[in-house]
Amino acid sequence: MRDQAGWIITLVVVAALAGLVFWLIRGGHWTRFVTFLSEVRTEMRKVSFPTRDEVVGTTIVVIVTSMIFAVYLWIADLLIQQGYVGLIKVLS
């Protein structure tokens, strides 16, 4: 059954790709598609990717900031909860 599902998925992907190619060629979209890919390649050459040190540094900043906000929200939640408990005690 599992092997059969793999063949079905493969068949669907191949049919979708064949349909896309047919649409590109018959619909006159092929030249626009090639131009688009060429422009994407040109723009990707202009992109500057971060170094490993930059990625590690920003990842550490994100993790530390997330921890600080987690502690802040945990304390705020405790204070709000205690405030509601105290309010209920006073009103009842």
Q: What is the pLDDT of residue 2?
A: 61
Asked if residues 55 and 49 have their Cβ atoms less than 8 Å apart, the reply is no
Could you read off the pLDDT of 52-63 as tens digits, one per residue? Answer: 999 999 999 999
pLDDT-derived band at 3 (thresholds 50, 70, 90) equals low
User: What confidence tens digit (pLDDT) does each residue in 7-46 have?
Assistant: 888 999 999 999 988 888 888 888 888 899 999 999 999 9
pTM over 0.85: no
Tokens 């945990």 belong to residue: 74
For 17-55, b where at least 16 C-beta lie within 10 A, e where not — what string?
A: eeeeeeeeeeeeeeeeeeeeeeeeeeeeeeeeeeeeeee
Write down the domain spans for the chain.
Answer: 1-47, 50-92
Would you state the pLDDT for residue 85? 94
Give dist(CA 9, CA 13) in Å, integer. Answer: 6
> Which single residue is written with the structure tokens 């509601």?
84
